[in-house]
Structure formats: structure tokens, C-alpha cells
Structure 1
Amino acid sequence: MAALRPVYQADLADGTGRFFEPRRTTCPWCGSERLTARLRTTDLLQHKPGGFALDRCDDCGHTFQNPRLNEAGLEFYYRDFYDGLGEERMGGTLGGRTGMYRGRAEAMLPHDPGPKNWLDVGTGHGHFCEAARDVLPGTVFDGLDFTDGVEIAEREGRVEHGLRGAFPDLAPELTAGYDVVSMFHYLEHSTDPDRELRAAYGVVRPGGHLLIEVPDPDSRYARLLGRWWLPWLQPQHLHFIPVANLRHRLTGLGFTVVAEQHAEPHDPVDLLAAVWLALDHMAPREDAPWLARRPGAFRRGLRTAVVLAGVPALALGTLLDRLAVRPLSHRLRLSNAYRLVARRD
């Protein structure tokens, strides 16, 4: 912390305005000028300085960050989240979700159950690939990401080959090289989702499949929980694509959507996460190098007291998520994600 603090303080010396592109006046998905403010929030996870806005297109329903982070902003807000200071924490969080990863792999079984060459784009530390081998034995999994997590994934043997970089930039070297390309909670991080989809079309072999899972901006939780809805994940999530928009775009590229799932990809954490985000927001900050100084003993003790006082609410949120909401998530339109399986024609 002490070593990183001067670096962060230098980055923030002139404020956060330099991290943003100019505000858009048109929708990046359809070009419409009919935009409505949908959300105003802050960084509720790392608590780095800055305010963030999401606008919604009144014509196509696309929701997007506006103004959007530029390259310097993306580097600043991603830094120490998945790697660096956050590597151990995120590795533990993502590594403990084997059941969810198996469910994603099982989505392919009705369409192509045999061994295949599979590229997982946005693979992070490769935990999905490790779990999916049990569902699809004999399948060779490669992983692609722009963080050093993909190098960890290769080093730990979770992927056969780890490819580091931007997917559209690497795609020409991978033309028609994979039976399956997966993008699990990846497109919402992309600065240009359409470019990512065109890259995927080139990398999937004819007759192969593209699996996409993204947050569902039409989830009722998005409205009910407001800024406390975890999938907003500002400032990392740049685009929220309604399912009809994504189906239409995939069809136009030359894919046929062969499956659409809402209940299966729902992650039952919405209420638990909302309670935690609110508690964490109210409590004094934990030490972080983007704070000007380390919190004193009183503030650290007060934070512990606030978190402990919220334990009953956290427990109740967990029970409601898993026992009450999960069985009815799709029927109540509370599913926080959707999944599409598309075949390249």
C-alpha cells in the first residue's frame, strides 16, 4: 500500500476528468439521438474516485456508459482489481464457482457434445476451463484475456494456451480455428461489442458455435435495486445489450441462435450483493493506495462494527436469493443474466 500510494496520488493529482472520452449524443448500438439518463453512481467495489453515468437509448433499449472511460481510464480503474492487489481475492472468488462453470459448459451438450477446440475469451484466471473439462472430456481449452490472469491460467494448467491481448487484434491469427468460442460476462466490458462479435464470427469454424452470457439490463432487479444492483459494476461495464438486440446482431452476422436461456445463467447473489454494497458504502473505507492516507485505528474499528451489525441482513439476503428468488427468477423476470448459443452457418 505504501509503495503504491504515491503512484495513485500522482494519477489523481489533476482529478478524474482526464479518464473520460467526450460524452456521446447518439446510441453506439443503433445511432439514435433519443437518450435518457438511467443511472448515476460511483465505484462501489474498489471505491476509486470518480462518478459514472449510464444512459439508455429510447429506440433500441441499449444501455451504455456515457461519457465512457478512455484508454487511460480503463487502465486506472482495472488496475489492482483482477491482478496486483486484487489478484488473490479475485482468484479465490472466481475459483469457488465450479457449479456455475459446469452449467455454462453443459449449455453446449445439446448442440455439440463431442470433444472440440474451445477458446474462452475473457477467461480471467481460467477457472471456467478447468471446471468444463469434467463436462467435456477431451476438449482442448485455450484462454484469451488482456490481463496477466491468462498467464496465470496457462501456468496453472487451466488452459492449454494462454493468449494475452485484445480479441479483435488477435482474431486474424485464429481464423476458423475453434469449434467453440465462449464470451462469459465479457461483452459488457468491451469498448466495441460489435467488433468483438465480428471477430468471433471469423474465429468460429463454419458449423461451430458461439456462447455468450451477459448481464440482462431488462432484469427487474436492475430497476428495483438501482445503483446497488451488482451487474451494473461501474465503471468496468460499458455496455448492456438487451437480448433482442443481440439476437438480431448475431443473425445479421451469419449466426443462427439455437438456444436462449435466462433461468440457467441467473446468479443468485442480487440481494446479498446489494446489502453488502450498501454496508460497504456506509462504512469507513478500508486502506487503499488511492486514499491520501491510511485510515486510523478509530475508523478501522468503526468499519468492523458496521460490517458486523450488517451480518443478519447479509444472511437474510443470502437465504432469499437462494431459496425464495432462485426457483422463480425467470418467471418473475428477475434473472440477472441471459445466455445465447449461436451456430455459425
Structure 2
Amino acid sequence: MATTDSLESAGTPEKTETIDEYRIRRRAMVAELRPSYQAELAEGTDRFFERRREDCPWCSSKRLKVRLRTKDFLQRKPGTFVLEQCADCRHIFQNPRLSHAGLDFYYRDFYEGLFGRELGQAFEGAEGDRKQRHADRARAMLTHLRPKRWLDVGTAGGDFCVGAKKELPDTVFDGLDVGTNVVKAKEEGRIEEAYQGFLPDHATALAGRYDAVSMFHVLEHTVDQKAELAAARKVLRQGGHLMIEVPDPESHYARLLGKYWVPWFQPQHLHFVSVGNLNRALRELGFTVVAVDRRRPHIPFDFLGAFGMLLIRMQPFRNEPWLPKEPGKAGTWLCRTVFRLGVPVMPFLYFLDRLLGPVVSRIGFSNAYRVVARKD
């Protein structure tokens, strides 16, 4: 977890760009974007949300209760976001959910825009950790089959495909994502084929083409999770395998850290499905669940991430285009001072997360789980 200031050097397109040059360039980007954001916000934020649901989207029960109310701590875009939980099936979901206009507004300038090289990269972790996760996922699939063709849903720039290729050199990797990075990934040779959009929209054209389909931290972003699972089944061949990783809403960290538990990730995460609910849904679709792992998918960043979000929240003046105006020198100085005061704590929390990771992931604190299911 890091803030804009902490990632200034990482957010530069050229290694030769100094921090001061980056600040000037970013300030110009914000100034260019501010008029359009302010015009959009002048119309109000009600249109960014659908009407509140009275029933659970997973089981249709009307026994709902508020689990969490929070803000957009990362980008500081306006709005209050509510997560509700079903008292019957325990499914957790955003209610009211973002509308199409809201999805566009809150996703914009995160992964591919102003924040694309800042917060987006911060959540991926260190390069060595990412490579290890990619290899671990590929080896987990190898215990069930050696796929000839693999579709990675939500592939972004194809990093997983590149990493998995080292474990599976004979496998052809394709990617699907709503962003433009998937197209760039094909142009750069990181994947063989690129599909831009949502999986259900491509499922008919891709029916029966793949031995393996992966969804790594994708389902929580989708509007209709069951439709995504059905689409994944459609593009798989008979005997093909689906691999899913999602945040674990049953993690003890979720209650311990409250709104500062990073996997809540509001407002982008719309649904939080428990492993029991996911397994039942897969079986109903005709899958056989062949593996469940609630330990290895754990990403050790809970304490550092919570502290980082708290630190961001404590910075009262930031220069973002969705905020009415650029802060003055005093506000900028205050933000940097708050961040610098928090910097000495970060290494301690980083190593604490890593020290505790192997232990807590075995006793119900893992922040993610993995399911592998076979199409029968």
C-alpha cells in the first residue's frame, strides 16, 4: 500500500524522470482532467448508484443487514458505499450497487489513467512476489492437467500468462479484459489472442476452445457472478478446468481490520462470495470441485494495507481532478508531512505481515482462497 507521494518514482514513464519532473507532469494531467470531472459531478452522484435491493442477489432472501459503510479511501472520489450481508446464505454485496455510470466513474483513471502506475501497481506487490504467485498458480493447475490452451480472464497486461509460460512452455495463453491493456499485451507478444470486454459477451464465440480458464480476483468485480461462471463453463472443453481466486469474506482479518481491510476495496468490489456458496454454485452448473486452497492464495499485506489506507485518509489535501481545486502550498506540505511521518512504520508492518503470513493463513486469517473445478 502506498500513496501518490510514495509512488512518485514508480509512477514515472521514464527512469530518468526526476520526482520534481513527475510532480509537474502529474499536476498538468490533473489540471487537464479537472473540468470534465467537475462538470460530471455538478450533475450529482445519485445516478452513480442503482436502487437499493431488497433481496439477496445470491439466494433471494430478504434478511439483509448492513455489514460495512465506508468511503473511497484510495482515490478519494466522492460517495458513501454500503456492504450488506444476507443472514441466510451469508453472501456480502454492495447495496445499492454502482450503476453503469458509477462503474465508469469510479474505475476511470485507476488502472489505465491517472492512477494506473500508482495505486494500480501498488496492489500487485513486489515483482518477486508476483512471479511466485504466477508460478504457484500454474503448478496448482499442473496437478490436474497440462492445458494446451488457457484463457486468463481479467488478464490486464498479461503478467500471469508470461509468468505461467515458464512453468507451462507448451501452453498457449490468451487473455480477456475490459481495458485496453489486453490489446497491448497481444501486440507485445505476452499473449496469443486478446479479447476486450466481458466473458459472457464472448462465450458463444469461444465455446469449447479452452482446456483451462482462470479468474484471479475477477469475480468480486463483476455484476453477475453466476453468469460469469456459466460463461466460463461454456468456453471450456469437456474435462477442462476452471481456476478461481477471490477475497475470502470469512477471513478473521475482515472483522479485525473493519473498513481498513484492503480486500473490501470499495467501491470496486461488488460481491464477496464464500467458498461454500461458490462450490455449490459450481456444482449446480455441472462442475466437480477438485481442489480448495485457503492457505497459499493469502497475500501478506493486511496490516501494511490497513495502515496505508489510514494514512491516505489522514491526508486532508490532495490534488485530484475530482476535488474542486488544487491545494495550496500549505495543504501540499501537510499531506507530504503526514505521509513522511508514517513511512518509518511501513517496513515494520511489511515484515510483520510476512512473518505472520504462514501461520495466520492456516488459522482462518487468509485473505483469499482458490478453487479449481473440472467441467464434467
Which residue of the partner structure matches residue 69 of structure 1? 98
How many Å separate the matches in 2 of 1:213 and 1:131? 17
> Could you tell me whether the CA contact under 8 Å between 1:266 and 1:329 is conserved in 2?
no
CA deviation string 1:108-165 (max 9, x = no partner): 01101x3510000011111111111011111111000111121122122211111001
Q: Does 1:291 align with 2:323?
A: yes
In structure 2, C-alpha distance between the alignment counterparts of 1:76 and 1:313, rounded to whole Å: 33
Instruction: Indicate if the aligned counterparts of 1:268 and 1:321 stay in contact, CA closer than 8 A.
Output: yes
Letter in 2 for 1:111: H
- In structure 2, distance between residues paired with 1:48 and 1:284: 13
Match of residue 333 from structure 1: 364
Q: Which residue identity is paired with 1:179?
A: D
- Answer yes or no: is the 8 Å Cα contact 2:311–2:339 preserved in 1: yes
Deviation digits for residues 25-61 of structure 1 (CA, Å, limit 9, x no counterpart): 1000000000010000000111101110000000001
Paired letter, 1:86: F
Deviation at 1:174, TM superposition (A): 0.3
Is 2:312 aligned against 1:280? yes
Matched, 1:176 2:204: no
Tell me whether 1:17 sits opposite 2:46 in the alignment: yes
Distance in structure 2 (CA, Å) of the matches to 1:186 and 1:147: 13
- The answer for the alignment partner of 1:145 in structure 2 is 177
Structure 1 distance, partners of 2:119, 2:262, is 15
Superposition pairs of residues 1-345 of structure 1, within 5 angstroms: 1-89=30-118, 92-93=121-122, 94=124, 96=127, 97-112=130-145, 114-323=146-355, 325-345=356-376
Query: What secondary structure sits across from 2:369 in the alignment?
Result: strand
CA distance in 1, matches of 2:45, 2:352: 38
Contact 1:148-1:164 at 8 Å conserved across structures: yes
Task: For 2:179 and 2:96, locate their aligned partners in 1 and report how far apart those are by CA, in whole Å.
Answer: 24
Q: Aligned-pair distance for 1:90?
A: 5.6
1:104 is paired with a residue whose SS is helix
1:284 CA displacement: 2.6
Query: Contact (CA 8 Å) 2:287, 2:375: kept in 1 or not?
Result: yes
Aligned counterparts of 2:154 and 2:162: Cα–Cα separation in 1: 14
Calculate percent identity across the aligned residue pairs.
55
Corresponding residue SS for 1:273:
helix
For the 8 Å contact 1:284–1:300, the answer to whether it is kept is no
Aligned to 2:19: none
Task: Give the AA of the match of 1:40.
Answer: R
Question: Are residues 236 and 6 of structure 1, via their aligned partners in 2, closer, same or farther at CA, if it must alter by over 3 Å?
Answer: same
Match of 2:10 in 1: none
SS at match of 2:77: coil
- On the 8 A contact 2:248/2:369 being kept in 1, the answer is yes
- The residue identity in structure 1 corresponding to 2:372 is V
Asked if structure 2 preserves the Cα contact closer than 8 Å seen for 1:126 and 1:150, the reply is yes
Q: Which runs of 5+ in 2 are unaligned?
A: 1-29
TM-score, length of structure 1 as denominator length: 0.97
Q: TM-score, normalised by structure 2?
A: 0.89
Q: What CA distance in whole angstroms lies between the structure 2 residues aligned with 1:341 and 1:291?
A: 43
Deviation per CA, 1:246-269: give whole Å up to 9, x if none.
000000101001000011000000
Amino acid of the residue matched to residue 58 of structure 1?
A
Contact 1:5 1:289 in 2 (8 A): yes
Give the superposed CA RMSD. Answer: 1.2
Letter in 2 for 1:138: D
Report the CA distance between 1:92 and its aligned residue.
Answer: 4.3
| CA distance in structure 1 between the partners assigned to 2:132 and 2:257 by the alignment | 26
Find the counterpart in structure 1 of residue 6 from structure 2: none
Q: Which amino acid aligns with 2:332?
A: R
| Deviation of 1:313 (Å) | 2.2
The whole-number CA distance in structure 2 between the counterparts of 1:91 and 1:116 is: 31
Contact kept? 2:248, 2:273, Cα under 8 Å = yes
Q: Distance in 2 between matches of 1:155 and 1:285?
A: 40
Q: For 2:337 and 2:219, locate their aligned partners in 1 and report how far apart those are by CA, in whole Å.
A: 38
Name the CA distance, whole Å, in 2 between partners of 1:337 and 1:70: 26
Could you give the per-residue CA deviations for residues 149-200 of structure 1, whole angstroms, max 9, x where no partner exists? Answer: 2112212221111100111011110001100000000000000001000101
Answer with 326-335 or 140-149: which moved more: 326-335
Kindly state the Cα deviation for residue 277 of structure 1 after the two structures are TM-superposed.
Answer: 0.3
